[in-house]
Amino acid sequence: PVAPWQVYDVPLEPGALRWIREREGLGDAWREEDYVCEQRWAASEDGTQVPMTVVYRKDLALDGSNPALLAVYGAYGQCVETDWAVPRVSLLERGWVLAMCHVRGGGELGASWHSAARGLKKLNSVHDLAACTRELAKQGLSSHPKMALCGASAGGLLVGAFVNAHPSLVAAAIAKVAFVDMANTMADPSLALTIPEYEEWGDASDPEIMTYIRSYSPYDNVKLQRYP
């Protein structure tokens, strides 16, 4: 997350790599040695250790005063992207902490990590994310009133489910192209993507699965409460 992509020429014969260029970098305007990139762990509700990739400026005081942006996905066995990205630079330079939360449902720890938060286990993703916010606060990297959450598509579903269940744990939430009307969507097999999605969310024609989906579907759980 702190190192721009580097392009090298790799000779077939033995010899040193030849550096060609830096891709999407900022040249001398960016000093990766001024930043910390580390893995931290949060204990989820059932004791599972959830990894986070955390990036911040070395000179930050870890006293809970820093704003933090938490990125999350947690579905389809896909990993949260931790690559270098120029848009993050502005936040890092202004003292933000960036935390990529590798909750269950993603693929960061293999197929079993994905299986541990799909179908009738989806709420593990929500529990994991709550644990990540609490651990960041416990370690002084940020505090709940200074945390923002961001997720897209299935990650947006997780953002929606999370703020319904834990509205006080973050101050802001960004749900991009979010899959929020789960119950109605998964109950309609005439929609193009519904049946292929059974593997991830379950077949909503099964009453047990529909009850479970309704327990976290963002659209179905909006309530009168203070939201981020």
Structure tokens at 66: 């820093």
Instruction: Write out the H or E segment, with its range, that includes residue 150.
Output: strand 147-152
Cβ neighbour number for residue 24 with a 10 Å cutoff: 10
CA separation for the pair 136, 124 (Å, rounded) = 18
Is residue 57 within 8 Å of 93, Cβ to Cβ? yes
Tens-place pLDDT, residues 99-121: 999 999 999 999 999 999 999 99
- Residue 14's pLDDT band, with cuts at 50, 70 and 90, is confident
| Secondary structure (3-state) at 222 | coil
Confidence of residue 2 (pLDDT cuts 50, 70, 90): confident
Tell me the β-bridge partners of 8: 19
Quick: pLDDT tens for 69-99: 999 999 999 999 998 888 888 899 999 999 9
- pLDDT category, 27, cuts 50, 70, 90? low
**22, 55 in Cβ contact below 8 A?**
no
CB 102 within 8 A of CB 155: no
pTM of the model: 0.91
Whether pLDDT at 5 is above 90: no
Percent with pLDDT over 70 in the chain:
98
The first and second tokens of residue 68, run together, are 């933090």
pLDDT of residue 25: 64
| pLDDT for the residue numbered 24 | 66
Element (H, E) at 155: helix 154-165
Instruction: Supply 179's token pair.
Output: 């899959």
Q: What percentage of the chain reaches a pLDDT higher than 90?
A: 81
Q: Is the pLDDT of residue 151 over 90?
A: yes
Residues 6+ apart with CB under 8 A from 177: 152, 153, 156
Residues 137, 196 contacting (CB under 8 angstroms): no
SS3 category, 38? strand
Closest Cα to residue 18, out of 26, 28, 9?
9
Residue 40's nearest CA partner among 125, 187, 141, 181 is 141
Distance of CA 115 to the CA centre of its chain: 17
Which tens digits make up the pLDDT trace of 165-207? 999 999 999 999 999 999 999 999 999 999 999 999 999 999 9
- Ramachandran angles phi, psi of 64, nearest 5°: 85, 5
